[in-house]
Chain A
């Protein structure tokens, strides 16, 4: 099936343009005083793919919980698909589809029964639910196993079924909470492809939480980077990376970071963007200064453990903003 046809099937007939989301000053404190969200605000445009990137405990799942009305906010306002989640919760839920981080399928039931259950709970007439499930079963490659109990499915098969289930009702907004966590790389790439097909028509708004940098970069139009309950940066992946220049110099300085930055500054390389975690010094570079920086450090013969030049990643963005490596927090 072609990408465009798959997108059409997954979107569904006559599906409306994706709904927008507005979040204002969202706070959440759990019982016991755990402050999960400390004043989060953001907008998601209709049809946009928006990512919430951060380590475990950053507040991403809490935000998804509040947007899907499964977690009560302490304060703040949330609008999903045009509906206030506090006052119009049923309507907001009707406009949404969710792929949860953990499987919510009824394992003793078949895949088909799980799809039909979801459709009926979302108010679809039986005939339309049957037609829609047939389309999605075909599009998601589930035909061979759809009538087997879900407990017999592999992790990747379950995740495909979860996605099919979430889009049964052609939702305005699709939420995905860590959709590929725990899956092997092949399955992850397969699911990314399916999710990109969903986005192909740009009519379904998608909100994705992840701690995988590559997932955020590949799937999202814009990313909000979260740390300890706050959004510390929000922009397109390209602009976030561009804030660090074309490349970064990574130096294991062994306590000599002051000497390194002084040396590079004397060579005319701006060092005000440098940040250090432990003994690792990272310096964003622009205008092709990487070669110059490497040469100066070689010539100076400082007792450095390593020097590396590479492209910046969102991990570097996160590290500079929070002082913690995103990748090391898992």
Chain B
């Protein structure tokens, strides 16, 4: 089963890596935010907290924009499989069917990881300041990859359920972009109106982004206390990790169920 999963993963990697659209397009907006908009905002507005480098604050947030965009773009190739027939070959193959979306998700994570590295390097070169360690990088990477996997699960579900690619593309901003604006990306969630702040606290994006900041800049600037209140950071990080893990596992499980039911007539 493992080598069949690897075969499916390799297939998806070759198809994704061969498409410039799917490699480059998801990077454009986050890189724009990280290297142009974030520094410009910092220059124009200063920072909401003298201890927070605003450019770094926003630059890390662009990762939480990149990974859902990448996941949603990767889902377009599932439409290609459906439309041009390759899905039938996969369904007729002697592999457990749940391996098919899992192989796709693993390939999406690989591409996301490479793109995140590009984005972070671009942000650092532009002037973002990171205070991190090996453990911090692991927190950051874990949160980014969990968010990528969760949205990849959503992408798989939609790609198997929706009738057309146009509908799917139409939903991409709602899934990949809108939550980002409420997740503490450009400003702390504590400055949102009360009701919206509560919504932001339950959004997995908010928890993932807070974990990423916790990993790369640490201290009290991660946003974890804005979510959970004034408690030791490590405990808050574990709590947010549980939220993100739960969200990801639930979505991936549902995605595999949806695939099993929808793929067959």
Contacts and interface: CB of A to CB of B under 8 A. Distances in A.
Interface of A: 30-31, 65, 68-72, 90-91, 93-94, 96, 98, 100, 102-109, 113, 117-118, 120-123
Given A106-B15, A123-B4, 14 more contacts: A70-B92, A72-B264, A93-B93, A100-B88, A102-B84, A102-B88, A104-B86, A104-B87, A105-B86, A113-B14, A117-B7, A117-B11, A118-B93, A120-B7
Interface in B1-60: 3-4, 7-8, 11, 14-15, 18-19
Given A93-B93, A106-B15, A109-B15, A121 B4 contact: yes
A113 B4 CA distance: 15
Given A103-B85, A108-B18, A90 B94 contact: yes
Nearest to A110: B14
Nearest to A121: B93
B95 interface: yes
A109 B3 contact: no
A77 B88 CA distance: 22
Interface residues of B, number: 24
What are the 3 tightest A-B residue pairs by CB atom distance, in nearest-first order? A94-B94, A104-B89, A93-B94
B265 interface: yes
Contacts of B7: 117, 120-121
A65 B8 CA distance: 22
B32 to A, nearest CB: 28
B108 to A, nearest CB: 17
A102 B84 CA distance: 8
Contacts of A65: 265
A72 B14 CA distance: 31
30 contacts: A65-B265, A69-B92, A69-B264, A71-B264, A71-B265, A90-B94, A90-B95, A91-B94, A94-B94, A100-B89, A102-B84, A104-B85, A104-B89, A105-B86, A106-B11, A108-B15, A108-B18, A109-B11, A109-B14, A109-B15, A113-B14, A118-B93, A120-B4, A121-B4, A121-B8, A121-B90, A121-B93, A121-B94, A122-B94, A123-B94
Contact of B89 (A31, A90, A118): A118
Contacts of B11: 106, 109, 117
Given A106-B11, A108-B15, A117-B11, A96 B92 contact: yes
B12 to A, nearest CB: 10
B226 to A, nearest CB: 45
Nearest to B6: A120
B101 to A, nearest CB: 15
Contacts, number: 71
Contacts of A106: 11, 15, 86
B91 interface: yes
B235 interface: no
B52 to A, nearest CB: 45
Decide if the interface of chain B is mainly helix, strand, loop or mixed: helix
Contacts of A96: 92
Contacts of A117: 7, 11
Interface of B: 3-4, 7-8, 11, 14-15, 18-19, 84-96, 264-265
Given A71-B265, A90-B96, A120 B86 contact: no
A231 to B, nearest CB: 21
Nearest to A149: B18
Contacts of A109: 11, 14-15
Contacts of A121: 4, 7-8, 90, 93-95
Contacts of A91: 94
A93 B18 contact: no
A90 B95 CA distance: 7
Contacts of B92: 68-70, 93, 96, 98
A103 to B, nearest CB: 6
B103 to A, nearest CB: 10
Given A108-B18, A117-B7, A122 B85 contact: no
Given A104-B85, A106-B15, A113-B14, A120 B3 contact: yes
Contacts of A123: 4, 94
A301 to B, nearest CB: 57
A68 B7 CA distance: 21
A113 B84 CA distance: 17
B25 to A, nearest CB: 17
Contacts of B85: 100, 102-105
A109 B19 CA distance: 12
A105 B86 CA distance: 6
Nearest to A125: B3
